[in-house]
Amino acid sequence: MAKIPKSEELKAGGKSFRPDTSKFRTLKPGETFTGIFVGAGTTEIMDRRTRLRKELFVLRIRDEASEKVEKFPCAAMMLRGWEDIADEYGGGDTDATIQALRGRHLSIIRGDDAKTADSNPMGTYEFVIFDD
């Protein structure tokens, strides 16, 4: 009978993938995150306020220092920035944009909060895509 390798032995020469149930990564005003673009897509979550399920568009970016893939939910202003990127790099097509950006360095810069018409704070974001 063959010896079944332990989990640590299996991971020694490869890369482990498992579902990540951690919280989404957010940025504070003035904070910047730079990493390698891995992908993007929709994720379904339960809205704590309304108790209804909703879809979020999420960017996945690998932190080179920790090798951890951070997941950034795109609220209104961040999603607008993504749409501009999709127009420039994918002709408006999200799948084409993901393919064009995969493996490239990308920075997300959180600016100061702006005020909505109702005087509520709204995050502002800037994306920088590097020519790798």
What pLDDT sits at residue 3? 64
Question: Would you kindly state where each structural domain of the chain is located, as residue ranges?
Answer: 35-129
What pLDDT sits at residue 9? 60
What pLDDT sits at residue 115? 83
Q: What is the C-alpha to C-alpha distance for residues 132 and 4, in angstroms, rounded to an integer?
A: 42
Tens digit of each residue's pLDDT (9 = 90 or more) over 35-93: 999 999 998 888 888 889 999 999 999 999 998 999 999 988 899 999 999 999 999 99
**Residue 120: is its pLDDT beyond 60?**
yes
**Environment class of residue 131 by beta-carbon count within 10 Å: exposed (0-12), middle (13-18) or buried (19+)?**
exposed
pTM to 2 decimal places? 0.79
